[in-house]
Structure 1
Amino acid sequence: MTQGEKKQGRSFGYARVSSTGQNLDRQLAELRKYVPEENIVTDKMSGKDLERPGYQALKGSLGLRRGDTLYIKSLDRLSRSKADIKAELEWFQKQGIRLMVLDLPTTMIEVPEGQEWIIDMVTNILVEVLASIAEQERQTIRRRQREGIDAAKKRGKKFGRPRKEVKDWDNVYYQWSQKKITAQKAASILKISRTQFYKLVQEEQEEGSDSKR
């Protein structure tokens, strides 16, 4: 993104807390230093996934465009998932949208025209670090889940129905993995809860990982 593009682009802010009982005031006060009040979008929802109305509106056809800048207080306002944050950083970079993270001064730097590669370098470093952390977290979670399952089986516990017994699983899972439908839509088609859907997705992905080892 060139400096000219940045000056012509618009500035947006995004703030999120995990529940309706939490307060956005501190984040909003910081964002107002950089963004007009009317351009700040908020959500009061968990960061466990990206299916949040405010955030999805920002990424929609009436939201962010190439040359725009998005300000957030910290990276975990995008998501609690390192893998999701990594994917979002890559999306912003591909779309030509500058992400400014107030808690990460290196993302806030202004660079002379012709040196925009510095911004890309900072983003690429963040992506690599997040990818590494996300993979470590996935491995830790899989190990703990496997240990828990093995311990439960020893106690004689039987687990829920396998995903292959869920009608049309392969087709729905493929559509979801290609981002053609949301998790909520997939769960609705399969007539299961979204929590059950994510559990089956985890089984599918763990089986895929094991088969590649």
Structure 2
Amino acid sequence: MAYARVSSTDQNLDRQLIELKKYVPESNIVVDKISGKTLHRPGYEALKGALGLRSGDTLVIKSLDRLSRNKADIKKELEWFKSNHIRLMILDLPTTMVQVPDNQEWILDMLNNILIEVLSSMAEQERLLIHSRQKEGIAAAKLQGKHLGRPKMQFPNDWEHYYTLWKNHDITAKKAMQSMNLSSSSFYKLAKQFQNTV
């Protein structure tokens, strides 16, 4: 079996199909035209489903990013193939294309383990880099006086008038909410916020 993917319906699969057809018949190539950001893709899920790949099968792909764009997801998928005894041949990684004698399968396991280990390190580095950039971005925004997170609720123009009437028991909370067009949760949130400032 083989698998080909492009990110959108207007992209062309031809280049991948030309390469994959050197190894499997076109009828055995499963395709998806959907982003690699998600693993929930019809063709790919069918490959991994009950009627798809079985122990001892081989799956051919053009490159690792056809599985996913996310290194942590790629690692998880490689581990799934390994645990289900499915060989993955990646055209852009010649070491995965090596043919070994029947009693030398341990070589393929070793190559697969190395690939998983390398991807684990890369995924962790990517995660740390994203986290570091987020922290730097938050620090820079705070230095510029930018408010992060949800914007603070704004008090209606007539807030003090209706709030005072409510506090003095001249009107009900419901009447105050209706007058200012506020939901119950917004009204009490603003009331709490207001009490903390007076």
Matches of 1:148 and 1:54 in 2, distance apart? 38
Matches of 2:51 and 2:140 in 1, distance apart? 50
Aligned residue in 1 for 2:140? 151
1:42 to 31, 34, 42: 31
Aligned residue in 1 for 2:110? 121
Letter in 2 for 1:77: R
Q: Which has the higher contact order (CA 8 A, sep 6+)?
A: 1
Note the alpha carbon deviations across 1:157-211, whole angstroms, 9 max, x for none.
Answer: 23149xxxxxxxxxxxxxxxxxxxxxxxxxxxxxxxxxxxxxxxxxxxxxxxxxx
Letter in 2 for 1:157: H
TM-score, scaled to structure 2: 0.73
1:73 to 52, 59, 62: 62
2:18 to 26, 29, 33: 29
Matches of 2:86 and 2:136 in 1, distance apart? 42
Matches of 1:160 and 1:61 in 2, distance apart? 45
Letter in 2 for 1:115: Q
Letter in 2 for 1:65: R
Aligned residue in 2 for 1:176? none
**Do residues 91 (structure 1) and 59 (structure 2) align?**
no
TM-superposed deviation, 1:120: 0.2
TM-score, scaled to structure 1: 0.68
Task: Provide the aligned C-alpha RMSD in A.
Answer: 1.3
**Do residues 135 (structure 1) and 130 (structure 2) align?**
no
Matches of 1:44 and 1:157 in 2, distance apart? 39
TM-superposed deviation, 1:62: 1.0
Letter in 1 for 2:78: L
- The answer to which of 142-151 and 20-29 deviates more is 142-151
Note the alpha carbon deviations across 1:102-136, whole angstroms, 9 max, x for none.
Answer: 11111011111211000000000000111111111
Matches of 1:31 and 1:156 in 2, distance apart? 51
TM-superposed deviation, 1:48: 1.3
Note the alpha carbon deviations across 1:41-78, whole angstroms, 9 max, x for none.
Answer: 11111111211111111111111111111000011110
Matches of 1:118 and 1:160 in 2, distance apart? 53
Instruction: Count how many residue pairs are aligned between Structure 1 and Structure 2.
Output: 150
**Partner of 2:148: helix, strand, or coil?**
coil
Aligned residue in 1 for 2:192? none
TM-superposed deviation, 1:150: 2.5
Letter in 1 for 2:107: I
Aligned residue in 1 for 2:51? 62
In the alignment, structure 2 segments of 5+ residues that lack a partner are: 152-198
In the alignment, structure 1 segments of 5+ residues that lack a partner are: 1-11, 162-213
TM-superposed deviation, 1:148: 1.2
